[in-house]
Amino acid sequence: MTASEASAKKPFWLLIEERILETDPKDLSGGNLEALIKRIAGELDGMGYNVSNHGGNMIKLRYAVNRAREAGKPFLKDFNDAISALTLEDVAAPYAATNNLLEQLSETWPETRKSERRADLVEIVEKTKLDLLIAKAKSLPDDDGIRLLIEEEVDFPVITKALEITDDKLKQVNEQIKAEKAERARVASLLEKVADKTDEEKVRHLIDNDVSEELIIEMAEVDQGVLDGVKKAMEEELKEKQRKAEEEAARKKAEAEGPALEDIPSDDMLDYIESIREIMEFSDQEKEIRTMCEQSSIPKALVDIAVSEPEKLDELEKQAEG
């Protein structure tokens, strides 16, 4: 492996610190540091770095070993402890988290503030954040973990690999999130139209526009009591509206069917019977008779007799004439 290939994986200073961390504390505190430095230099040479015969790289190695000896511990011991103590809340903003980390370590390890290390430290903090997010995602039920990583804008290939899910599953959850965001935007627009209204009026407006109860409570910022009160009032209004509709339908039906037999005046009765007989001469099919009688506004009670007991028409006619 060449030095450039090794650098693409880890920065040189971090590779030095890793070799120091692996060192036996006795070697670090012992009197023969030269043997330790030469051994680490040889290991780095084997990784593709020219350390043993490169003055600048050897100076960096000697400095790191001397600093670890002065502090009585490897830098990565403190660094790894600090990283492992981080929570998701701590790393929410990686740059700010890195600043806090430097503040915490710089008293013992002032070299952490070197500009050449800052980008590497930020990258480590970002990786720590990703690891914490994945760990949390794996602990969540159902699709909540997938949702968490999508909302945190983790790359899709990373999500599918970390959670061991298919691309189709990830796409499905992502589409659901998009639909939910679109619905939230719709509800926000609905609320803008009633911004100056009471809570009850806002809730009513959202119910009329088929918004879920969960979103109403959340986005209209009302409690369950307000929602239940509006629903109850609307149910009463609906019942009253339905009652009136049924009454109107019954009225129209009665109007269409015409008066009962006993309420038909004699003169009208004779006219209706005459019309029925003319219709029955034209057709003997009940459906056609009923249709033509309806078109002629003949009372349904009389039509029912005409199609079921036509002989009774003579009796009704005599009664009307008498």
Quote the tokens at residue 309. 């007991």
What gap in Å lies between CA 229 and CA 235, rounded to an integer? 10
pLDDT on residue 212:
95
For residue 313, how many other CB atoms are within 10 A of its CB? 19
Tens digits of per-residue pLDDT, 75-106?
999 999 999 999 999 999 999 999 999 999 98
pLDDT on residue 56:
93
> 138: pLDDT confidence band, cut at 50, 70 and 90?
very high
Nearest alpha carbon to residue 64 among 15, 98, 9? 15
pLDDT on residue 181:
95
pLDDT on residue 297:
87
- Average of pLDDT values for 206-234? 94
pLDDT at 254 over 90: no
Region of 13 (left: φ > 0; alpha: ψ -120 to 50; beta: rest) is alpha
Q: Which carries the bigger pLDDT value, residue 137 or residue 116?
A: 137
DSSP collapsed to 3 states, 97-156: HHHHHHHHHCCCCHHHHCHHHHHHHHHHHHHHHHHHHHHHHHHCCCCHHHHHHHHCCCCH
**Which residue type, as a one-letter code, is found at position 210?**
D
DSSP 311: T
pLDDT at 298 over 70: yes
pLDDT on residue 6:
46
**Mean pLDDT of all residues belonging to the chain:** 90
pTM of the predicted model as reported, rounded to 2 decimal places: 0.65
Q: Which carries the bigger pLDDT value, residue 192 or residue 7?
A: 192
pLDDT on residue 258:
81
- Average of pLDDT values for 254-266? 83
Tens digits of per-residue pLDDT, 140-171?
999 999 999 999 999 999 999 999 999 999 99
Q: Which carries the bigger pLDDT value, residue 112 or residue 205?
A: 205
Cβ 64 vs Cβ 17: under 8 Å = yes
pLDDT at 197 over 90: yes
pLDDT on residue 314:
85
pLDDT on residue 187:
96
- Average of pLDDT values for 229-238? 90
